[in-house]
Amino acid sequence: MIFTDTHTHLYSEEYSEDREAMVTRAIESRVKRLFLPNIDIKSIQPMLDLVWRFPDNCFPMMGLHPCSVDEHVEAHLFQIQKWFKKRKFYAVGEIGLDFYWSVDFKDQQIMAFKKQIQWAIQMNLPINIHSRNSTDEVITILKEMKHPALRGIFHCFSGNAQQAKQVTALGFYLGIGGVLTYKKSELPNAIADIDLQHLVLETDAPYLSPMPYRGKRNESAYIVDIAEKLAELKSTTIEKVANITTENSVKIYGV
């Protein structure tokens, strides 16, 4: 039984004191596949350093996070795009739209998202989508840019049941994380009718720790707690959850 964390920021400064021990804890907990989304120019080297240290377990993505979009977005995208010629990446991500914190650069976010989708199509890579307060807008863009090569994950899915069905109808997977375990979470209702074949597990570490770690630093070992909750929700075994969600991740990332 192997678990896959399809979205985890293990290169983050929050792990500066115990990074290797934390990754080792995940591996020992059978969370052996760790997919790392990029955020901006500054996060690239720390991410690749971790991939170098754990090449059999850590798999990098490359992209510009919507919260990193500013007036210099074109320059950022230029630097990001160059990296695809330097080494292998397993997805274009983390990309998308975030209208929660600010809409000051809304137009630039949309432009950056569409441009990075075009990269993904051209390179035949999946995308890893961030969609906060913007799920409908993201779905609309994906419908507009529909292409046989366009595929990926709605990371940390936070939509409703109708949106979940729209996403899966487009051939995308829903990233299920610690929010599933929260007492007042609407996520269980949103995915009640969604088959495991459309779901993947993630932590978004160091954020969104599952119960009973809520409020503390998240880490990839906690995937097991999320899987247990999902197994309970789907009236199945944790082994089946691990196997199917890992198989789904292989279909998406190609590894």
pLDDT band for position 153 (50/70/90)?
very high
pLDDT of residue 39: 98
The single-letter code of the amino acid at 230 is: L
Q: How far apart are CA 151 and CA 124, in angstroms?
A: 9
Integer angstrom CA distances of residue 106 from 99, 102, 155, 221, 250: 7, 8, 20, 35, 33
**Which residue segments constitute the domains of the chain, with CATH numbers given?**
3-253 (3.20.20.140)
Share of residues in the chain with pLDDT > 90 (%): 99
Is 90 exceeded by the pLDDT of residue 36? yes
Yes or no: say if 120 and 155 are a contact pair by the CB < 8 Å rule: no
Q: What's the mean pLDDT in 123-130?
A: 98
Is 90 exceeded by the pLDDT of residue 222? yes
pLDDT digits (tens, 9 = 90+) for 110-119: 999 999 999 9
Share of residues in the chain with pLDDT > 70 (%): 100
Q: How far apart are CA 63 and CA 212, in angstroms?
A: 32
Q: What's the mean pLDDT in 89-104?
A: 95
Strand order in the sheet with 58-60: 3-5, 31-36, 58-60
pLDDT of residue 241: 98
pLDDT digits (tens, 9 = 90+) for 160-211: 999 999 999 999 999 999 999 999 999 999 999 999 999 999 999 999 999 9
Q: How far apart are CA 109 and CA 107, in angstroms?
A: 5
Integer angstrom CA distances of residue 19 from 25, 57, 110, 219, 221: 10, 14, 34, 10, 13
pLDDT of residue 101: 86
Integer angstrom CA distances of residue 201 from 8, 9, 114, 167: 10, 14, 25, 16
Q: Is the peptide bond before 148 cis (omega within 30 degrees of 0)?
A: no
pLDDT band for position 15 (50/70/90)?
very high
Both tokens of residue 135?
């799920």
